Amino acid sequence: MSSQLPVDNGVAPWRDPQLSPTERAEALLPLMSLEEKVAQLVGVWVGAETSGEGVAPHQSDMIDNVAPWSSLIQHGLGQLTRPFGTAPVDPVLGARSLAASQAQIVAASRFGIPAQVHEECLTGFAAWRATVYPTPLSWGASFDPELVEAMADRIGRSMRAAGVHQGLAPVLDVTRDYRWGRTEETIGEDPYLVGTTGAAYVRGLERAGVVATLKHFAGYSASRGGRNLAPVSMGRRELADVILPPFEMALRHGGARSVMNSYAEIDGLPVAADEWLLTGLLRDEWGFTGTVVADYFSVRFLQTLHGVADGAGDAARVALRAGIDVELPTVDTFGAPLLEAVRRGEVDEALIDCALRRVLIQKVELGLLDEGWQALPDEVAALRLDDEISQGVAVRLARESVVLLRNTGVLPLPVGGRVALVGPVADDPMAMLGCYSFPNHVGVHHSEFGLGLDIPSLRDELARRVPLLSYVAGCGITGDDTSGIPAAVAAAAEADVCVLAVGDRAGMFGRGTSGEGCDAADLRLPGVQADLVRAVLATGTPVVLVLMTGRPYALGPEFDAAAAVVQAFFLGQLGGQALAEVLTGAVNPSGRLPVSVPRDAGGMPSTYLSPPLGHRNKVSSIDPTPAYPFGHGLSYTTFEWSDAIVLRAADDTHGEPAEPAAWPVDGEVRVRITVANTGDRAGTEVVQLYLHDPVAQTTRPVVRLVGYTRLPLEPGDVAHVTFDVPADVASFTGLSGQRIVEPGEVELRFGRSCGDAAATLSLRLTGVERQVGHQRELLTSVRIEPLVAVPHSA
């Protein structure tokens, strides 16, 4: 039973830091019994004790007959699930409880291998008193990957300081149907924006030493009717060209070390059972060497929801064969049912060894198998999960993600004017938070602990800046009670300006209007909020309509009377401050829409990534043209775009225009535009570059994003913005099913949005059709060259 096989330095080889992680894993694996192997492939859902003395197995409707703790850890343990994100616990005491439990795990098993600890971290470390950042739709609205990376770094640092090794984020699902409740968790409807932003998040988390987990691989967001877990009807081209690229970017340019499967079934095959997707594509073609962890209960769902497995042991067999390494959240099918299936000869032990090898390698990389590993991080004594640096990042991201959709001149709010604040979300701190924030996800079940954070509402923050502010809720977020609308109308009628704040409350499985399991039948505002909007608009008082939501809601003709429209997507704990600063003019808005805002509540699903027949045409009576398109957003200053040019060669910064504009199918083209701030205040423009491919062997989106950058400019300042665009970004899945770059005429369009091209450059992709794969160039590089400022006249 001895685990010690010493080498020259007297250290067991699997603990020897001079060996590679693979060598160390290979040295340990053959020493382990079947029970010890399987124990490394499961998690146990626990909650940290408030005493600081340990954790307790978690009970829920989905977890029956939880074994005693001593029994669960007797052969070791692969993962501990959410010790901080299950119930409120003081962070320092939680870290001490976790460390005590790790010591028990190490002592209980032959090899003394600690558990890998994971937590949710989509909008911050999912722990009591941890900073709550804006939701992913806000990340997308910022068009600022560098800031998202800084946010993820802060999240990762707090997790490692508490003893957590793996974060279940980012979500890389591309929005396909706004009705889906988890739209708030997505970054947007464009794969380039999702991929570049998601990769930045991964870099930040991984730099902090936390394993990033890409989810949900893949197709989850394309469910029929926007219903959670509903079947996905999708061909291989949509999967390859829209759904998969963000995952490729986050692996290659982020360095993610884990992937979580999607709950979805695609064309009748659940992803948890899809060997082509989880092994053939992810591992064999893309070369991924990290771990694949099961989304919670998804292995058991192969039996109970999908009906593709005959019992728990068979579900474990199907999942292992497909490529799932670790069952989460807690031991179930990978426990006794898997052991029995192996002993009956129904599951090859080699499948277990394959998964175990990847688990052990990752634990080696995390330092969990090192001599002298300590369960309690050194930083725990000073652990503070909501510090000033984190708050600074949170409020900056919130400011950058506020999108000004319309403004007739009413914003910024007039100084000294009478302002009526109306609406059900205006004085609700929870209206700032997404469904996976700790206060919404966990705290709502433990109200006796309070929020654990100071989360000012929009009313709180406006009251600090607007002396003559009145407030009336008008109605609830949900329900059919209209009795408060007359008071709201009266308040608006007496004011110089009315700020009307409507939107969502995030929740889980029907307990909110947005969030996991909170899908929408259509895109009308919840409850009677639309009635409130119509009534207030009818007063004739200038109305600033503020949407605080987790998805875009339809803004039809009846909303055109609004003097201004502002969109915010769950801005986090300091969202009230950010919104108030934008409304009063302290901050110049610079957010851009990561999803289109539809005009018709029922004319969906439709995103901007549609071929010609997916847009307005003469063969359908439904017009899917949005009220505001992807990429749209206004500022309090003005920008002029001019002098778009194709430069001769990628290495010629100041070349003359190339005539004709040839773009080799294996090369790169350099294009440039000049942008000037022609207004009277500093502002940030978002320069977007779109590809239009008018003729291809398969239908193509009318335009799609291939590059972007934020461009801050002082009044009168001018800058060149140059994009180096590899031909690979023009690739798509051709007739053969392979990704190709096809020669022919294309356009690059500089856009203020997908629907507002400031300049168009015609090019010709030259050469012969070229096949590309996973190693193709994925990114367009951007450079900003400030020029001499233009003299500004007031």
Q: Are strands 543-548 and 564-568 parallel, antiparallel or unpaired?
A: parallel
- Mean pLDDT to the nearest integer, 331-349: 96
pLDDT in tens, 367-389: 999 998 998 888 787 789 999 99
Contact 272, 261 (CB under 8 A): yes
* Average per-residue pLDDT for the chain: 93
Residue 55 φ then ψ, to 5°: -125, 165
Mean pLDDT, residues 696-702 taken together: 96
For the stretch 624-638, what's the b/e string if a residue is b when 16 or more beta carbons lie within 10 angstroms of its beta carbon? bebbbbbbbbbbbbe
Contacts made by residues 464-470, CB under 8 angstroms, sequence distance 24+: 464/580, 465/580, 465/584, 465/586, 466/413, 466/419, 466/584, 467/416, 468/416, 468/417, 468/418, 468/419, 469/419, 469/420, 469/421, 470/418, 470/419, 470/420, 470/421, 470/494, 470/495
Model confidence at 618, in pLDDT bands (50, 70, 90)? confident
Comparing C-alpha atoms, which of 671, 679, 700, 693 is closest to residue 758? 671
Mean pLDDT throughout 134-152?
98
Check if the beta carbon of residue 149 is closer than 8 Å to that of residue 201: yes
Interstrand relation of 55-57 and 739-741 (parallel, antiparallel or unpaired): unpaired
pLDDT reported for residue 378: 81
Q: What is the pLDDT of residues 627-641, one digit of tens each?
A: 999 999 999 999 999
Q: Which of 12-21, 47-56, 443-452, 600-609 has the lowest mean pLDDT?
A: 47-56
C-alpha Rg value of the chain to the nearest Å = 27
pLDDT at 604: 64
pLDDT band at residue 728 using 50, 70 and 90 as cut-offs = very high
**pLDDT digit string (tens) for 259-313?**
999 999 999 999 999 999 999 999 999 999 999 999 999 999 999 999 999 999 9
pLDDT band at 18 (very low <50, low <70, confident <90, very high): very high
Give the pLDDT confidence of 742-763 residue by residue, as tens digits: 999 999 999 999 999 999 999 9
Task: Identify the pLDDT of residue 734.
Answer: 97
- pLDDT, residue 61, reads 56
Taking only the tens place, the pLDDT of each residue in 666-693 is 999 999 999 999 999 999 999 999 999 9
**499-543: pLDDT as tens digits:** 999 999 999 998 999 999 999 999 999 999 999 999 999 999 999
Q: Is the pLDDT of residue 651 over 50?
A: no
pLDDT digits (tens, 9 = 90+) for 241-265: 999 999 999 999 999 999 999 999 9
pLDDT of residue 567: 98
User: pTM for this structure?
Assistant: 0.95
Q: Is the pLDDT of residue 568 over 70?
A: yes
173 phi, psi to nearest 5 deg:
-65, 130
What is the C-alpha to C-alpha distance for residues 102 and 86, in angstroms, rounded to an integer? 17
Average the pLDDT over 41-64 and give the result: 64
Question: In angstroms, rounded to a whole number, what is the distance separating the alpha carbons of residues 472 and 493?
Answer: 12
pLDDT confidence of residue 3: 43
Give the per-residue pLDDT at 57: 53
pLDDT: which is higher, 4 or 15: 15
pLDDT of residue 655: 52
